[in-house]
Amino acid sequence: MDALKIESEEWKNLENVLEEMIPCYDDINSRMTFGMDKKWRKILAYESNNKNIVVEIGSGPGTLAMLLKAKKIFCVDPSEKMHKIAMERIKQAKISLEKFEFITSPAEKIPIDDNVADFVCSAFAFRDFYDKKKALTEIYRILKNDGKFMILDIAKHNNIYGTLIYNYIKHIAPIITGSDAPKMLAKTYNAFGTLEYYADIMKEIGFRSVKIKFLNFRTIFILSAEK
C-alpha cells in the first residue's frame, strides 16, 4: 500500500474501529505500552507551555488535549463522537472547557486561517491520516513563522525490527489488551512509511529543523520541525 495514502473504504473502517475503541481507548493504550504512553504524551504537552495558540490534530478522546497548557487549544478530529467524549472527559477532569475549540475536520483540510498556530501537535494519529502529504501541507500553512510541529507515533522500520513491531501489534497486543482493535492498528502500521520518508516530505514542503528522536528502543518516535 502507498505509504502516503489510505484508501477511503479502508479509512472508514479504521475510523469505525477507533470509535468502537473509545470506552477502552486509554486502557488499551496503557496496556500496549506498559503505561509508558502517558510519559511520551507529556513530552508534547511540555512544548505547549506558555504558548498562545496550540492545535492538536487527531485529538480523539482528548488524552493529549487534557495535558496541553496553552491559552487557546484547537482540537481537530474528523469524528464528532471523539469530540463529545473529549468534552465530557475535560469537564470531568475539572479543566476549563472555555479555552478549547473542537473542529470536526480531517487533517487534510483544516478550517483554520494561515499562520495562526504557535504549536501544532499530533499523538498516535498521524499514522491514521489518509493523505499524509496533504495533511503536512495544511499543518505548515496554519503554523506561524517560527511555530513548532511535533508528531508522536509508532516507528516504522523496513527491516526485521519492523516485522517484530508489526507482529507485536497484530498478535501479542490483542492478547495483552483483550481486544481485537490492535489488529486494525497493525494494518495502519503496515501502510505507514518510514520516518526518513516523512522527514524528506516535510523538508520539501518547507519545514526546517526537521529532527527525529526515537524512544523506547526505537519503537516510538517524535518527529519535530519548525516553520
Ligand X SMILES: C[S@@+](CC[C@H](N)C(=O)[O-])C[C@H]1O[C@@H](n2cnc3c(N)ncnc32)[C@H](O)[C@@H]1O
Q: Which residues bind ligand X (CB under 6 A)?
A: 15, 18, 41, 57-60, 63-64, 77-79, 82, 106-108, 123-125, 128-130
Nearest distance in Å: CB 60, ligand X? 3
Instruction: State which residue, 54 or 82, has the beta carbon closest to ligand X.
Output: 82
CB of 120 to ligand X, least distance (A): 12
216 grid coordinates: 523506547
b/e code 16-37 from CB counts within 10 Å (16+ = b): ebbbebbeebbebbbbbbeeeb
Grid cell, residue 198, equals 516523512
* Least gap, CB of 160 to ligand X (angstroms): 26
**Residue 174's closest CA among 185, 163, 164?**
185
CB of 135 to ligand X, least distance (A): 6
12/208 with CB nearer ligand X: 12
Is the CB of 129 or the CB of 207 nearer to ligand X? 129
State the residue number with the nearest CB to ligand X.
Answer: 60
Alpha carbon 220 to its chain centroid, in Å, reads 12
Q: Which is nearer to ligand X, 88 or 209 (CB)?
A: 88
Q: How far is the CB of 152 from ligand X (least distance, A)?
A: 8
Torsion of CA 9, 199, 219, 148, to 10 degrees: -100
Cα(17)–Cα(107) distance, integer angstroms: 19
Strands 72-77, 117-123: pairing kind: unpaired
Pick 13 or 194: Cβ nearer ligand X = 13
